[in-house]
């Protein structure tokens, strides 16, 4: 067998459905958390926005 038939094809992380769904979820969480009362928006809102961005960022970090 030659290399062309045995080589695996890898996708970019942006092409993965799980990555796309995690990015969409992050955007939805950001939109929802900005609608919270001010005292929650700046403390808990900031924390939940950062944590929702963590999953797609970690997935993107894999080689």
Does the CA dihedral 16-22-25-29 come out positive or negative? negative
Asked if the structure places residue 8 within a domain, the reply is no
Count of the separate structural domains present in the chain: 1
Asked if the structure places residue 6 within a domain, the reply is no
Asked if the structure places residue 10 within a domain, the reply is no
Domain of 59? 20-63
Asked if the structure places residue 39 within a domain, the reply is yes
pTM of this structure = 0.74
Instruction: Give the pLDDT score at 7.
Output: 55
Per-residue pLDDT tens digits for 8-43: 677 788 888 999 999 999 999 999 999 999 888 888
Alpha carbons 31 and 56: distance in angstroms, whole number = 17
Instruction: Give the pLDDT score at 9.
Output: 73
Asked if the structure places residue 49 within a domain, the reply is yes
**CB-CB contact of 52 with 15 (8 Å):** no
């Amino acid at each position: 067998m030659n290399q062309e038939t045995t080589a695996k094809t890898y996708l970019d992380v942006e092409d993965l459905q799980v990555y796309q769904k995690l990015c969409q979820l992050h955007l939805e969480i950001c939109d929802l958390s900005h609608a919270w009362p001010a005292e929650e928006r700046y403390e808990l809102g900031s924390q939940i926005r950062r944590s929702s961005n963590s999953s797609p960022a970690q997935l993107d970090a894999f080689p």
